[in-house]
Structure 1
Amino acid sequence: MIVLPAIDIQGGNCVRLLKGDFSTAHKVAENPEDTAAGFRAAGASWIHMVDLDGAKNGGVVNAPVFLKIAAASGLKVELGGGIRTMETVSYYLENGVSRVILGSVAVKNPALVREAAERYGDRIAVGIDAKNGMVATEGWLDTSSVSYLELAKKMEQAGVKTIIFTDISKDGTLQGVNMEQLALINEAVSCDIIASGGVRDLHDIAACKKLGLYGVICGKSIYCGSLSLPDAIEMAGEQTC
């Protein structure tokens, strides 16, 4: 299982949100590049990054930050937020980003997801973010009438190999991951599942590993000190690409 430390970018700064609420954004680190370097020094091989401005407004907003980290950090960058066209997908993947995450378009334009998966294979992931089991879109500002399991099955059929599942009610709370929903989605599809939202400590890492998940994203727990990134990586075991 891989551990992906997270950096969310808003206005060029490293921030975290509580339950996806943009009004709760607070700065958690001084410099994205130095933060990424610290993750690399701790043993990480991947980093999970989100363009919060892009997620809210749609489009490429903080691209220079992401491309600089992709080029200089020695980490594989997984990036989401506002990626809603093939042009944006290609722009990032052809300029150093290792994997892009499609979120809102998975609900609103599934044909784009299929096209991206056909062209780029396992470099395409879909982020499924849910409130009470229903998929949220547009930077979590809107809730759809689509269940997270229904969307996961559709994305599997579209050729998607990796799904990042977030229970929004857990995100940023340090209350633990939603093991019930993670188990259901992991059983429902053959895709690699990455857990996101609510990770507090090594108990969550152990639980995700026991489920047989592909990966787990850690954000606030690292910044506040409830989780040691080196210990999490060690517990997760041998990392894979």
Structure 2
Amino acid sequence: MSLKDFIIPAVDIKDGKAVRLFKGDPNAVKVYADNPIDMAKIWEEKGAKHLHIVDLDGAFEGIPKNYKIVEQIVKNVSIPIEFGGGLRTYEAVKTMIEIGVERVVIGSLAYQDKELFEKIVNDFPEKVILGIDAKDGKVAIKGWLEKTDFTPLDFAKMFENFPIWGYLYTDVNRDGALVGPNIEGTKYLAENLNKPVIASGGVSSLEDVKKLYEIKDVGIYGVVVGKALYEGKINLEEVD
């Protein structure tokens, strides 16, 4: 896998626009594009091999709210899409997979209803990524608004034998803050789990990406990059 392939651009949708939050705060919003569909197409044109789409309205409200936009993104790009945000029912997951989303990211539901989560992953094997959002060392749910008592590894281990694709590990305190990713936390998870881990949160430069890429053999599949791409800290076209 090349360094460019390792980078997964994020398109976060709120109120129909492509935005970024600062440390998961729904009130700290910066709009980068009025049309998320165009944004997704731009990242594909710049060489992205994979996209990470988040419905922030869905994450906070508990049900996908930007379904039509995601459907249009799927129709307008040819690269795989992973989607998260508000997937807390069987029907919501089924709908996203039916419209052509490659994989779905589920976090809160796995914590709140393990039995339903198990049914979903059994019905859609290898289509589900377990979302592990960490805040101050503990897993956070419901759009990062509620902290649990689980450490990221304890939470991940609960589902290790389920037919999930892997894990998305986000350090919420770093998300959108351009302070560098939680490399040690990501490495620790990947070393102790038997499925791939995608890193997320805090990437500020290509150097940050390279640090994760250099240890990818421990089981790190890629890194979701948002603000660093939108603010021009990383130019995807220039990455080999």
Asked if TM exceeds 0.5, the reply is yes
Matching of residue 199 in structure 1 with residue 206 in structure 2: no
Does the CA contact (< 8 Å) of 2:105 and 2:130 recur in 1? Answer: yes
Partner of 1:80: 84
Residue 187 of structure 1: SS of its match in structure 2?
helix
Read off the aligned partner of 1:98 and give its amino acid letter: E
Give unmatched runs, 5+ long, in structure 2: none
Q: Distance in 2 between matches of 1:214 and 1:203?
A: 17
Q: Helix, strand or coil: the match of 2:149?
A: strand
Structure 1 stretches lacking a partner, 5+ long:
235-241
Q: Which residue of 2 aligns with 1:22?
A: 26
Note the C-alpha offset of 1:119: 1.6
Q: Tell me the TM-score normalised to structure 2 length.
A: 0.94
Aligned with residue 104 of structure 1, among 105, 108, 118 = 108
- 1:187-232: CA deviation from partner (whole Å, max 9, x where unpaired): 1101110000001111111111122110110000000011112344
Deviation at 1:145, TM superposition (A): 0.9
Structure 2 Cα separation of the partners of residues 171 and 33 of structure 1: 22
Q: Which residue of 2 aligns with 1:215?
A: 222
Give the deviation of 1:60 after TM superposition: 2.1
On the 8 A contact 1:170/1:177 being kept in 2, the answer is yes
Write the distance in 1 (CA, Å) between the matches of 2:42 and 2:34.
12
Amino acid at match of 1:114: E
Name the CA distance, whole Å, in 2 between partners of 1:74 and 1:136: 32
Residue matched to 1:47: 51
Distance in structure 2 (CA, Å) of the matches to 1:6 and 1:96: 18
Residue of structure 1 aligned with 2:193, choices 189, 193, 204: 189
For 2:59 and 2:210, how far apart are their aligned partners in 1?
30
RMSD between aligned alpha carbons?
1.2
Question: In structure 2, what is the equivalent of residue 33 of structure 1?
Answer: 37
User: How far does residue 139 in structure 1 lie from its aligned partner after superposition?
Assistant: 0.3
SS at structure 2 position matched to 1:176: coil
1:95 counterpart (99, 123, 126): 99
- Report the TM-score, using the length of structure 1 for normalisation: 0.93
